[in-house]
């Protein structure tokens, strides 16, 4: 039995990339565009898998900060309990979004919308960030 290597904190290393369906919440299932772990780096969440493209990207990492450059995404911290599904993320984005968020803690959830209109959720964990991006 082999032990999995420890994940690095922050954005920079791509994790798994799959396209399962999200069956959480009421209504029809939302199709997942990409899901996986991101380490330290700069990523365009409109691409599957996310990679850096020019100067349009979202970056995060140590210090509890996420930042969107050149309208790569609009960001907002989830303030309710539990983990939001796609519908919860999408409907609450009208409360206001930012291009820069600081003070993130482990177990926070950040929701957002990409430049191309995809809804996403970033789960801040001790081992790095788990990202889910849904189809438009």
pLDDT in tens, the chain (136 residues): 444 444 434 454 444 444 444 444 455 678 999 999 987 789 999 999 999 888 899 998 667 899 999 999 999 999 999 999 999 999 989 889 999 999 999 899 999 999 999 999 999 987 778 999 999 9
The total of other beta-carbon atoms located within 10 Å of residue 12's CB is: 16
Residue-range domain boundaries for the chain: 21-134
pLDDT confidence of residue 95: 85
The CA–CA distances, whole Å, from 77 to 3, 21, 27, 39, 49 equal 33, 23, 24, 19, 23
pLDDT confidence of residue 62: 64
pLDDT confidence of residue 44: 96
The answer to whether the CB of 119 falls within 8 A of the CB of 31 is no
pLDDT confidence of residue 8: 39
The CA–CA distances, whole Å, from 98 to 9, 11, 62 equal 23, 19, 19
pLDDT confidence of residue 57: 95
Distance CA 80, CA 136 (A): 24
pLDDT confidence of residue 28: 62
DSSP code of 2? P
Instruction: Kindly report the backbone phi and psi dihedral angles of residue 127, in degrees, each rounded to the nearest multiple of 5, phi listed first.
Output: -95, 0
């Amino acid at each position: 039995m082999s032990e999995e290597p420890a994940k690095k904190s922050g954005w920079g290393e791509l994790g798994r990339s799959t396209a399962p369906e999200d069956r959480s919440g009421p209504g029809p299932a939302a199709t997942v565009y990409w899901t996986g772990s991101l380490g330290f780096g700069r990523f365009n969440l409109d691409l599957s898998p996310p990679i850096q493209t020019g100067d349009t990207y979202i970056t995060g990492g140590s210090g509890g900060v996420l930042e969107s450059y050149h309208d790569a995404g609009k960001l907002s911290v989830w303030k309710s309990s539990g983990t939001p599904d796609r519908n919860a993320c999408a409907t609450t984005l009208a409360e206001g979004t930012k291009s820069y968020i600081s003070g993130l803690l482990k177990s926070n959830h950040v929701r957002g919308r990409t430049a191309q209109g995809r809804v996403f959720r970033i789960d801040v964990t001790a081992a790095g960030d788990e990202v889910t991006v849904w189809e438009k």
